[in-house]
Amino acid sequence: MQELIQELLAQRVVGILRLPQSDLALRALEVAIEHGLQAVEVTMTTPNALEILREARQRWDGEALVGAGTVLDAENAKRVIDAGAQFVVSPILDAGMVETALKANVPPVPGAFSPTEIFAAYRMGAPIVKVFPAVTLGAQFFKEVKAPLPQIPLMAVGGLNAHNAAEYLHAGADMVGVGGALFPKAAILAGEFEGVAQTAEALSTLRHLHLEHS
């Protein structure tokens, strides 16, 4: 699991997929991966999420890390892991989700909003803690939290895009998750993927960013 955690952190960016149609979802993932993104997350709020997850794992095995998002409890953690999720993400902190993933040797990335929640998640064994919604807290929050808790890898999610992601990384986030800005629902439903390609290319450059705190 440690190797997978290091690989995930090295990517610095996870593309978060939340779309209403599975065929378009797979096409959107394909475009993002073709244009440099090497870590993606299929949210459980996407219709046929488990099927998309299975297909994505088979199709991009060895080319991109494929995880599951919006995993709220132990039961769903087991389902996504059985479907092939390489990491499990949640907007909340649920002990069952964390324990189930750890037992399966799959990195859990639970959600937290406060320093207390961040530390509680870390004590449960979470190797990376998702701070959500990041834009509500602001980039400065990461700098302030990292001062007393430098040992906890943080993933900033919520309101991030190709323009502000670097600010959060420089402030102290170890990685970022980008959803709607990377996978714009209206454009994709209209069959337009140019925005996905351009945003994926811009975000993929962040893995080469020099960070003082890394």
Q: Which residues are catalytic?
A: 41, 130
Q: Say if CB 157 and CB 132 are below 8 A apart.
A: yes
CB-CB neighbours of 175 under 10 Å: 25
Q: Is residue 53 within 8 Å of 83, Cβ to Cβ?
A: yes
Q: 18 with 45: CB under 8 angstroms?
A: yes
